[in-house]
Amino acid sequence: MKKLATLLLLAVAPLGAHATSGPAPMLHAKSAVVYDINAHKALLEKNPDEVMPLASMTKLMTAMVALDQNPALDETLVVSGEDVDHLKHSASRVPVGTQLERKEMLRLALMSSENRSASAVSRNALPGGLPTFVASMNQKAQALGMTHTHFDDSTGLSPQNVSTANDVVKMADAASHYALIHQFTTLTHYDEDVGTRKLSYHNSDPMVGRPGWDIQLSKTGFTNEAGRCVVVKVNMPTGPVVIALMGADTSGGRSSDMIAIRNWLEGKPATFAPRLFYAGAKTGGRHAIIAARAASGRKPVMLASARPGHGVRTGHVAIAQATERSSNIRLVAYSGRSAPRFHPHKAKSGKHRRYSA
């Protein structure tokens, strides 16, 4: 059976000579830079100076400015009503009244992108509170040469937090030299005692901890305005690079960009074909639920198709695809019979929920 086409991709421009093979990768990100630290030059660019929302990549600057104050890391901070997100109404597992040491707050903010923790850290860092802190973030951005960057808050929830891929590279490189930022952004998971509960947190970047990825710093970001973003500093066979990706439509697209860039840097083909899953559908409440099993016979994963009437019905056979890490699986085709005659799934974006394997 022929492989299905995945997504419409846009081209990028390679810069200068490098130990790569074949054409530059086609990226889902709207803006991207791959920067060689040792050579002090960009190896790959796509709209590198387009100003876009930063989302939670903001928290790298938040952590740097907080640590620049040489604070007492064991000082207890309290999450207050001021730290609640009234802009995006994002969820949090850290309730108002939670008391954690500053070091623990920083860990949650950087590793799992916990907004209330980032707010509590910034609110308690300087006399004058949050307004003074945000002003210091902008001052540091200028000192780092981030001339197209502006911060409006310390969490990244504000769409007025904007930057470019070139500026994000500068921020990430500077942040990687802070020992705690390196440590916290490269943790795969962490158990935190929040009140009377022990909560398990996981790194928001699925590449962290993946075999073969020697990541020295990582920070993801997402808001509706920013799309899916990520910046990593990673040791490659050719030396350390910073990869900044901004504005991908999906987490799967963001991850496949990372894999394609790595392949290209290693001299391998830069294309990346998502893994295919075969699935059958069954009715579950108002939605037809697809329980899929990878063709390799690995454990089942769960997808959600559409509401009844949007294509997939009980008893139909489906194909789904995922990134190499089996995240953000999505339905791409279906058929009303078991024969391998699959049709493109024409449901519009947003009519399918997405689940991770």
Q: Whole-angstrom Cα distance, residue 12 to residue 46?
A: 5
Q: Rounded to 5 degrees, what are φ and ψ at 32?
A: -155, 150
Number of Cα atoms under 13 Å in the Cβ half of residue 269: 3
Write the CB contacts of 323 (distance below 8 Å, at least 6 apart in sequence): 206, 252, 255, 256, 259, 274, 275
Q: Whole-angstrom Cα distance, residue 244 to residue 179?
A: 21
Instruction: Collapse the DSSP code of 109 into the 3-class scheme (helix H, G, I; strand E, B; otherwise coil) and give the result.
Output: helix
Catalytic residue among 30, 31, 46, 59: 59
β pairing state of 227-236 and 214-223: antiparallel
**Residue that is written with structure tokens 């198709």 in the block:** 305
Catalytic residue among 56, 176, 204, 218: 56
| Structure token digits, residue 219 | 């920070």
Q: How far apart are the first and last CA of the chain?
A: 23
**CA angle, corner 296, sides to 293 and 298, nearest 5?**
55
DSSP annotation of 10 reads B
* Active-site residue flag, 113: yes
- Whether the Cβ atoms of residue 111 and residue 59 lie closer than 8 Å to each other: no
Rg (CA), the chain: 21
Catalytic residue among 31, 112, 113, 204: 113
Q: State how far the alpha carbon of 316 is from the alpha carbons of 280, 282, 294, 297, 313, in Å.
A: 6, 8, 17, 20, 6
DSSP annotation of 134 reads H
Q: Whole-angstrom Cα distance, residue 172 to residue 319?
A: 38
Active site residues: 56, 59, 113
